Structure 1
Amino acid sequence: MKENRWMKAKSGLLVLLAAMLIAGCSGGGSPSEGANAGESGQDRTAQSEDGTKLRVYVPSNVEEFPAGTNLNHNEIAAYIAEQTGFDIEWELQPKENPDQKINIMMASGETPDLIITPSKDIYANLAQQGLLAPLGEALEQHGPRIMESVPEETWQAVTYDNQIYAIGVPQNQKSTFGMLVRTDILEELDIAIPKTLEEYDTAMRQIHDKKPDLIPYVGGAANNNGNAFGYIESFAGAFGLGAEYVVEDGEVVHTYTQPYAKDFLAYMRELYADGILGREYPVNKSANIQEKMISGQAVMTTAGWVDAKVITEALQEKQPDAKLELIHPPVGADGQFGYEQRTPVRVYMIVPRASAKVNEVVKFINAYMAEDVLKVVSYGWEGEHYTVKDGAIVAEPAAEDIRYRIYYQLWDSEENFVNRVTLKGFGPYYFPLTEFPTYTNIVQYAPPIATVEENAQTLTDLRNEYFIKIISGALPLEAFDEYVSKWESLGGKESLEEIRSWYATVQ
C-alpha cells in the first residue's frame, strides 16, 4: 500500500524559531538597471518613512503592460508601495533559464533584496552554499501574518541546518494533470470511455485498427516541467510510479528502481512497438504534442489543466464539432492511478546574504499580506474591475486592462486562486482533476539533503536515458537491471539511505 499523506513532524517550527540566534547580515548589492525597470522619476509613488527601498526579483510571465505603463509604473505597483510603505524596484526574471541568471547574480554579489523562485533546486543549492540570509529572528519579530499563514510542513521544507532560509508560500492548488481525450472520436467508433488500464489498452488498439491515420496516444520524453515521463504520466500512475520517492509499508522506496517500474517499461515499450504510442515520443515536447492534438492528428494525451483549455479551444476553432474531455486516468491492476501531489511549497522567497535588508524584506512581505492588498492584486478594485454577486466575485471588462497583476502576486491563498481560475474560464479544466493527484513525493517535504541534491541531476539523466531507450526499443527490456545497478553506484543508494534517515526523524 502506498501512503499518500506525509506524517507531519512532531516538533513544532515555532519552537525552532524561538531557539534560533541569528547573526546580522552585512554587505549589499547595488541596484542595477534592467529590462522593465521603469523610467527614472516615474516608477516610485510611495516610500517608507525612512526611505527604505527594496529590489524585488519576480518570475516572468506572458502578460503585457498597457501603453504608458511598465513594471514599475502602474496602478498596482503604486498601490502596493502605498499600502506597504516601501519603495519597491520590481525586476523581471528572464523567460529562458531563470535559474541560471539567479546563480550568476548570486555569484557576483550584485543581488536583489528579495528573490521569488518556484525552484527548490535554487533554494537548496544557495542555502547549502551559504549564500542566503537566515530569516528566523526577523520572522519572529516582524512577521506575525507570515507565521500564522505558513503551515508546519511548509516550514519543514525550507529549514536547512536548523535555520530557515526561505519563506515558503504554501501551495494554492490541487490539480495537476489529466487524460485529455477526443471523446467525439470514441463515440464515432462506438468505444466506451475507458477507465481501467485494460479498457484503455482495448480502446487505443481499436482506434489504431479503425483509424490507422490517427495517433491513439501522443506523448513525449521531454516534458517541460521536468517530470520523468514526459506526458505519459497517466500510464505511469497505473503502475505505481506517480512519484519518485514514496512511503510503502512505513518505509521510503525509490519507485523507479522497483520491479513494477520494469512492468511499466514493458507495457509502454509494447505500445510504442505497436504504433499505439506515437512514433515521435522520444523527441516530442509540449508544443509538438499540442500541435498534434489541435491539428486532429492524435486522440489522447496527458495534459495539464492550462494546456487542456488551450488545446480544446484551438481545436474547436478548427473543428467546431470536436469534443475533448478530461477523463479518469488509467487504473492499474492494484487499483492505483493518478499523479504526484503538489509540493508543500509553491514558491520560495529568499533573501541573498549580500542584502542588508532582512528585517525590511520580512516587514514588506508581512504588510503585503494584508487582506486589502491581496484582494487588489488578485482582482483589482471592486466596482471597477470586479463586482460581488451572491458572495461570488464577478470580473468586469476592465479586469482585462490589469492582467499584468500576475507579476505582483507574491502571496496567494487557495480561495483566491480558485476564484481566479473560475474568472478566467479555467474551471471546467481545473476542477475535474482535483481527485487525481494521489501520490506523495516524500522528498518534497524534506529540507535540502546535501547528498540528494548533489546526486539528483546525475540520477535523473541516467533514468531518462534508460527509460526513453527502453520504451523506444533502442535498448532491450533487460537493460533495466543495468540501470538499477548504475543508479545505486552513482549515488542512488546513498541518496535513498539519507532520505530514509530524515524520514525516521519525523515519525
Structure 2
Amino acid sequence: MGNTTKRQRVLLAAAGTAAIAAGLSVWAVLSSAGEKTGIEKSQKKEISIVVTSLGTSFPPGMDENHNPYLDYIERNTKLNINVSLPPNESYHEKLNIVLSSTALPDMLYAVDDVWLSNKVQEHKLQPLDELIDQYGPDLKRKIPKEAWDQVTFNGMIYAVPSMNEVKGVELMYARKDWLDRLGLKPPRTLDEYYEVIRAFTFGDPDGNGVHDTIGLLLTEKLGRSAPFFGAFGTQLDSWLERDGKLVYSNTLPETKEALAFLRRLYAERLIDPEFPLNRTKTLEEKVASGKVGIFSAAWYDTRGPIDQNKQRDPKAEWIPLEYPTGPRGEKGTYSTSLVRGYSIVPAGSPNGADVIRLLNFIAGEGHSNLKLGFENEIWSMKDGKMVTNFPEHDKHKYRGIYSALVEVIEPELDKQRLDSLGEHFRLYENQKRVENNLIVNRFTGLPTPAMGKYMMKLSSMEEQFIKIVLGVASLDDFDQYVSRWRLEGGDEITREVNEWYRASLD
C-alpha cells in the first residue's frame, strides 16, 4: 500500500505453494541453461542477476543470455553476466526462494516496495552507499533525490531505483465509427457514458444484425476501470487527502459509489461478462477482434490492439474521449509511483561493486542504445527526425529487460522515441492527456512497519469488490469490508501514514 501498483500486490497475495515450487524448478532450468562457457567466461569477471522478463520474448536463436544487447553490455562493462528470468507468476515468492538458497545471485530486480522493506528489516540486503559513491557517478547524476529517498532506510541506500517514465497509464478510447452509425456524440458525463455503453451493447453498432458486441471491457481485479472510479473522485488502492488527513481510498464512500455504478452496468449486461477472467492479453485480443466499442486504454494501446483492429477493419476509427465526469464534477485516473523497480544486492555477495558498475553503464553510457536500440538498425535520423524500423524494433523489444533495471527520465529523448514510432499513434499526446487528469496518490514515503505486517492479508480482502460488482455480494458488504480492514491492521497503517504526512509538511 505504499508505492507499488495494486496489480503487483494482488499478484503477490495470490501466490500459492504449488506455483512457487513449479517456479523454482523453472528458475533452476533457466539458470543452468543460461550458463556460459569458454574463453569469454574465463576472461571476464562473472556475475549473476535475476530479473523479470516483462512478458517479452526473444527472436529464434536468442535468449536472455545470448543476444546482441547483452553482448553490448558485457563488452563495455567487461563483465560476463548470467541472467535468470523466473516466471512472472508469484515473482516475489520466487525471489524469496532465491534469497534463501545457498547459491546467491549478485543482483535481483524487485518491483514491490513492501517486499523491499521487509528484506531490509530481515538483513537480507547490502547497503550500497559506498559502492554508489565509488562506482556510480551516472546513477548519482541522473536519479533525483526523491527517488533515492524511496530506497533509503535508516539513512542507508539499499537499492538502485528504476524510475517510471510515465506519470499515469489509463485513458478512454471509443469507436467513432460506431458513434456515428448510432447517431451519438462522444460522451463526457457519466450519464452519457452509460447511454453510449448501452447502445454499443444492444444497438448493433457493427451492423451485422447480431447482438455480439461488448459495450465496456474490463479485466481481472477490476483492471481498466480507473476512469470510472475517477468520476467519483477516487481511485483504488491510493491515499487521498480529506480534511487535512490521508485516508485509504478503498474505504471511502466514493469508492462504494463507484462500485455501485459498475454493479449496475454488470447487472444490465453492459460489461463484458467474462471480465473476471480477462487478462491483458485477452483484452488485447478482444479489442483487435472488432467486438469492443469502448474501454480504458493504456496510453500505448493505440500502437497495439487498437492498431490491430484497424488493420483488420480499415473502417474502424478510434478516438480518445474526455474522462467521464461524475455527479460532483470529478474525473481522473490513478497516478503511477515515481519508482517502478529496485535493483538490489543480496547480503553476502562479493560482487556488489560490479553490480553498481553494470547499473551505472545502463543508466549512463548505455542508456540510449538500450532504450532506443542500435542506431541504423532499429532507428535512424531522416530530415532531423528519428525514424524507427518497426520490424527490427519489435524483434528486439527484449532489450527492455536490461534497460528497465535502472530506468532514468530524459523527456526529450522519450518524446523523440515515441514520435518515431508513428505520430498517428498519439503516444506522446496520450501520455500528456493522462498526466493532465491524475488523481494523485499522496503517500510517497517508505512502506510503514504496519504495511509490512498486514499488507498481504488486507490486499486479499479486495476480492470483495469484484463480488460486489458481480452481484455475488451485496453493496452493503462494502461497509463490512471497511470495518474489517480497519480492525485487521488498516487503522494502524493509517496512523503511520499520517505521521509521515505531518512530518512531510513540516
Output the TM-score relative to the length of structure 2.
Answer: 0.83
Are the equivalent residues in 1 in contact too, given 2:216–2:271 (CA < 8 A)?
A: yes
| Rounded Cα–Cα distance in structure 2 between residues aligned with 1:302 and 1:139 | 40
Offset of 1:39 from its aligned partner? 4.1
- Correspondent of 1:261 among 246, 255, 266: 255
Alignment of 1:33-432 (within 5 A): 34=31, 36-41=33-38, 44=41, 47=44, 52-60=45-53, 61-67=55-61, 69-208=62-201, 210-211=203-204, 213-220=212-219, 222-223=220-221, 229-243=222-236, 244-371=238-365, 373-396=366-389, 402-409=396-403, 410-412=405-407, 413-415=409-411, 416-425=413-422, 427-429=425-427, 431-432=429-430
Alignment of 1:431-470 (within 5 A): 431-437=429-435, 438-443=438-443, 445-465=444-464, 467-470=465-468
Q: Could you say which residue in structure 2 is the equivalent of 1:6?
A: none
Change (3 A) 1:478 1:53: same
Offset of 1:184 from its aligned partner? 1.2
Residue aligned with 1:363, SS: helix
| Rounded Cα–Cα distance in structure 2 between residues aligned with 1:320 and 1:33 | 42
Q: Could you say which residue in structure 2 is the equivalent of 1:21?
A: none
Equivalenced residue count is 463
Larger mean Cα displacement after TM superposition, 331-340 or 478-487: 331-340
Are the equivalent residues in 2 in contact too, given 1:295–1:315 (CA < 8 A)?
A: yes
Change (3 A) 1:184 1:250: same
Offset of 1:233 from its aligned partner? 1.7
Offset of 1:175 from its aligned partner? 4.0
Offset from partner CA, 1:393-433 (integer Å, 9 cap, x none): 32347656644422321333344444444444484245324
Change (3 A) 1:338 1:109: farther
Are the equivalent residues in 2 in contact too, given 1:180–1:308 (CA < 8 A)?
A: no
| Rounded Cα–Cα distance in structure 2 between residues aligned with 1:404 and 1:258 | 41
Are the equivalent residues in 2 in contact too, given 1:46–1:78 (CA < 8 A)?
A: no
Identity %: 29
| Rounded Cα–Cα distance in structure 1 between residues aligned with 2:313 and 2:374 | 38
Are the equivalent residues in 1 in contact too, given 2:380–2:387 (CA < 8 A)?
A: yes
Residue aligned with 2:475, SS: coil
Residue aligned with 1:241, SS: coil
Offset from partner CA, 1:193-228 (integer Å, 9 cap, x none): 0112122123223444533543321223x24xxxxx
Are the equivalent residues in 2 in contact too, given 1:151–1:170 (CA < 8 A)?
A: no
Change (3 A) 1:417 1:95: farther
Larger mean Cα displacement after TM superposition, 170-179 or 201-210: 201-210
Residue aligned with 1:123, SS: helix
2:500 pairs with 1:506 = no
Larger mean Cα displacement after TM superposition, 114-123 or 396-405: 396-405
Change (3 A) 1:32 1:275: closer
| Rounded Cα–Cα distance in structure 1 between residues aligned with 2:309 and 2:394 | 24
Offset from partner CA, 1:263-309 (integer Å, 9 cap, x none): 22222222222222233344443344334333333322222234443
| Rounded Cα–Cα distance in structure 1 between residues aligned with 2:240 and 2:107 | 33
Offset from partner CA, 1:463-494 (integer Å, 9 cap, x none): 221x2222222222222221211111111111
Offset of 1:42 from its aligned partner? 6.5
Offset of 1:66 from its aligned partner? 4.7
Offset of 1:144 from its aligned partner? 2.2
Code of the aligned partner of 1:40: T
Are the equivalent residues in 1 in contact too, given 2:107–2:343 (CA < 8 A)?
A: yes
Residue aligned with 2:173, SS: strand
Residue aligned with 1:506, SS: helix
| Rounded Cα–Cα distance in structure 2 between residues aligned with 1:70 and 1:294 | 28
| Rounded Cα–Cα distance in structure 2 between residues aligned with 1:331 and 1:395 | 37
Offset of 1:123 from its aligned partner? 1.9
Larger mean Cα displacement after TM superposition, 467-476 or 483-492: 467-476
Change (3 A) 1:405 1:218: closer
Are the equivalent residues in 1 in contact too, given 2:163–2:340 (CA < 8 A)?
A: yes
Code of the aligned partner of 2:433: E
Alignment of 1:465-504 (within 5 A): 465=464, 467-504=465-502
Runs of at least 5 residues in structure 2 that lack an aligned partner in the other structure: 1-27, 205-210
Change (3 A) 1:464 1:169: same
Change (3 A) 1:233 1:401: closer
Code of the aligned partner of 1:75: P
Larger mean Cα displacement after TM superposition, 123-132 or 377-386: 377-386
Offset of 1:261 from its aligned partner? 1.7
Residue aligned with 1:342, SS: coil
Residue aligned with 1:436, SS: helix
Code of the aligned partner of 1:160: F
Are the equivalent residues in 2 in contact too, given 1:237–1:339 (CA < 8 A)?
A: yes
| Rounded Cα–Cα distance in structure 2 between residues aligned with 1:70 and 1:209 | 47
Code of the aligned partner of 2:449: A
Offset of 1:351 from its aligned partner? 0.6
Offset of 1:41 from its aligned partner? 1.5
More helix by share: 2
